[in-house]
Structure 1
């Protein structure tokens, strides 16, 4: 199960680093132009905060478990990212947008949390 956990950790960390980095690096109009129409519903600061949460969560998926320093933080980070994705699913459903990607990421984060809490 450790190999499955590591694969999930790496895949989720890459996905959340990319998504969070994009939210932090690009201005709101660029995000909307890149197909993230939901950005119109949020203030710039809120988008940046979501991006920072995703980046911190991605780091939390890897470092505590890798360094064996407070490894309980890894499943906690996974639960937090799942909560962020639950919010994303709600936003996308309200806007009648595609909600499957955040749903899948959230479910994978929950699976990782279960695996790591059990370890």
Structure 2
């Protein structure tokens, strides 16, 4: 179970990193042209960049605390925060009628829930 949780956290960290880098470094007008980022067309640029930075921090928080064995409890805490982020993303994409993206967010939410339950419950990081 530990290995599956590590793999899940790694996959979710890659998703968070890719989304974070995109939102942080891709010019907003170019980002807004993508269907999945249609929500950015009316969004404040600072808000989009902030979300990007939070996603990069989530990628770090899903892996680094456990790897360094410094506050590994931050891994499931980060995953719980990711759940909140995905709920917001599902609402946003739902309002835009993007059912496929809502389903993608449901998958990410399920992965994060698996990490939360696994690391707080069945397979915590212990010495």
Cα separation, 1, equivalents of 2:4 and 2:11: 11
Residue 47 of structure 2 is matched in structure 1 by 46
Residue 105 of structure 1 is matched in structure 2 by 108
Deviation string 1:75-113 (CA, Å, 9 cap, x unpaired) is 000000111011000001111113111121112111111
Secondary structure at 1:33's aligned position in 2? coil
Gaps of 5+ in 1: none
Q: TM-score, normalised by structure 1?
A: 0.96
Residue 69 of structure 2 is matched in structure 1 by 68
Deviation string 1:43-88 (CA, Å, 9 cap, x unpaired) is 1000001111111011000011111110110000000011101100
Q: TM-score, normalised by structure 2?
A: 0.90
Report how far residue 41 of structure 1 moved: 3.0
Residue 16 of structure 1 is matched in structure 2 by 16
Cα separation, 2, equivalents of 1:10 and 1:97: 26
The 5 Å alignment of 1:81-96 reads 81-96=82-97
Cα separation, 1, equivalents of 2:110 and 2:43: 24
Q: Which runs of 4+ in 1 moved over 6 A?
A: none
Residue 58 of structure 2 is matched in structure 1 by 57
Cα separation, 1, equivalents of 2:115 and 2:62: 9
Q: CA RMSD in A?
A: 0.9
Paired residues, number: 119
Report how far residue 30 of structure 1 moved: 0.8
Gaps of 5+ in 2: none
